[in-house]
Structure 1
């Protein structure tokens, strides 16, 4: 009889099992996002050694700055999971799909969460069975503006511009939500989420029907669910945002925004589409973009183009785009980007038309 550890080949001859190299096995077991982060840092260290440690510092500083928002949003998502409120939320949104898009766009525009901090909330909504359409509306509107950014924008660019940006955030959310709903009616996005979302962010379909238990800490299982969800979501966000901020740091260190800004201010009739296209990858962050937009308008950039730059950049900045890609499959991700770009152009032209009639 052949040795139990050996399997016979087609001729009946025992074949010794292949032993995988331990290093290769460990490499395969490593998280792909962690590997990508390490490889990106190595590439920076080789290509620009003076930026290697500053990149790490930028990642750490960025994570520290958004830590309070992430902590609140992660705790909220874990609370929804532990209490069973996810089914309640899902049922409410499914029952009023049309109204849900409008509510999601408005709530997204006025929510205090940044494009990164909103990720666990999005995961919680997906977990509760909320349709993709209102989730898309919330996701597009949320990064464009928040209450604090609204005040800063009003202080630097004026209350009219701040109001226009707020309307733009809601409008972009509505465009995204209703466009996604239409695509779904036509048979698209039947399976839009990545498998990792189900395992890492708890975004699998939830079909529970029992009433939520708001005081979840009184039950061992629910306490365990709370900490497990918080731990998995925190790790998910930490690894994806680390590589997102690494890429953003490279962009800030190497993209001459002053030169690009001067060129953009002189593009004439193409200013709005070019502002949207350039704003998508070159956007720094919502607050840094405000004085930049002020400078660009002083150089002659149309207000509509400045608004398109800020709206497109806010929705598709590197952290926001990476977060969307981390949770969704490519078709939905590309739709997100397309809606953000096209929608910001429409908003830019609309703002210029509004100004041309002297409404502001």
Structure 2
């Protein structure tokens, strides 16, 4: 007789743990399994496409992984404290530049933001960093150059810094209003361990390989970054293969192509719910641009999605009061649209 007993509590917990830690790999495997049953030819084509795409981007992957591991091993992220000293306008500029160029992971930004605000750093400078940080970092720059092109990577970096600077300036001009007087929600502390990067920044160890613990940290960072990028890019290239196979190019061109403002506006709005992950979005945008998506629309999608993606928005909502959250979202969408328009203008002139 077949065993019809339900899974034990331990088994269910193990399944939940497996889903929580490996859900991206599981989704990719599920997609291929479904394709193998219902569209075997497409399953083979998608697997070949994904493997070839990963192989093509391998040099950029290796470089981006090395940059991320180097930043963690040397402690270069401790230099962020220097961006928040000086006159308010200077802090805004440095905060935007630090956000656009620093190698912070998304999980480390929120406690750092809490620490900055709790320590009395002006919201204008913090907002500049906050807006720029999710859009670009050194690893993202390398991968954007490889998946899209160098011009797009440079433009996205400038968009990140520009959005941060303009957003910080807007907040500075509104800083006298009651709505922005107390940005943090009640009970939010000083950012915990993330705040130590600002309160007591440790010295940067550039020759990290001379210290065993730093070498070990480099290895850990390289391993975690490799697994992170591999799982997201595998899923992204797999989805790109299906998009290229099943979404007619004329549909993309009609919706997101052309020279007008509507494609950019559409991409800005669609970028909020459709954004997966900063790295995973690159192949998808690349595939859409091959089918006729306007360059400006691609830029707007990446900028809007990076700043207002659901995980990022939820984190901001949990940290900041509603008026600050609303301003964050408004600045993000307006800045993404402006970045798309400017990039489209530059692309049309070149």
TM over 0.5: yes
Cα distance in 1 between the residues matched to 2:298 and 2:140: 16
Q: Distance in 1 between matches of 2:126 and 2:152?
A: 26
* 1:304 and 2:296 correspond: yes
**Greater C-alpha radius of gyration:** 1
Residue aligning to 1:237: none
Asked whether the equivalents of residues 109 and 166 of structure 1 are also in contact (C-alpha less than 8 Å), the reply is yes
Residue 266 of structure 1 is aligned with which of 254, 261, 272?
254
Name the structure 2 match of 1:56. 20
2:157 to 166, 187, 202: 166
1:96 equivalent to 2:87? Answer yes
In structure 1, the residue matched to 2:143 is 152
1:348 paired to 2:336: no
**Which secondary structure does the structure 1 equivalent of 2:107 belong to?**
coil
After TM superposition, give the deviation of residue 59 of structure 1 in Å.
6.6
Which stretches in structure 1 are left out of the alignment for 5+ residues? 1-44, 46-50, 216-247
How many Å separate the matches in 1 of 2:271 and 2:314?
16
Q: Which residue is equivalent to 1:141?
A: 132
TM-score normalised according to structure 1 size: 0.60
How much does 1:176 deviate?
Answer: 1.3
1:324 to 310, 316, 328: 316
User: Residue 329 of structure 2 is aligned with which of 337, 346, 352?
Assistant: 337
- Post-superposition shift, 1:124? 2.2
- CA deviation map 1:155-177 (0-9, x unaligned): 12111111111101101101211
In 2, the alpha carbon distance for the partners of 1:275 and 1:60 equals 25
Instruction: Decide whether the 8 Å contact of 1:104 with 1:134 is kept in 2.
Output: yes
Map of 1:4 onto structure 2: none
Note closer, same or farther for the CA distance 1:273–1:54 as it changes in structure 2 (3 Å cut): farther
Contact 1:265–1:271 (CA<8 Å) still a contact in 2?
Answer: no
Aligned length: 251
Contact 2:115 2:191 in 1 (8 A): no
Structure ranking higher in helix proportion: 2
Pairwise CA distance, 1:318: 2.0
CA distance in 1, matches of 2:201, 2:125: 25
| Matched-pair contact (CA < 8 Å) for 1:123–1:202 | no
> How big is the shift at 1:187?
4.4
Question: Which runs of structure 2 are paired with 1:116-265 in the superposition (5 Å)?
Answer: 116-198=107-189, 201=192, 258=243, 265=253
8 Å CA contact 1:156, 1:291 repeated in 2: yes
TM (norm. structure 2) is 0.61
Worse-matched range after superposition: 142-151 or 180-189: 180-189
Structure-2 change in CA distance of 1:198 and 1:297 (3 Å): same
Partner of 2:180, secondary structure, is coil
**Residues 76 and 301 (structure 1), Cα distance of their counterparts in 2 relative to 1, 3 Å cut:** closer
Change beyond 3 A, Cα 1:324–1:271: same
Q: Call closer, same or farther: CA 1:326–1:203 in 2, change over 3 Å.
A: farther
Q: Which runs of 4+ in 1 moved over 6 A?
A: 51-54, 212-215, 259-262
Distance verdict in 2 for CA 1:322–1:265, change over 3 Å = farther
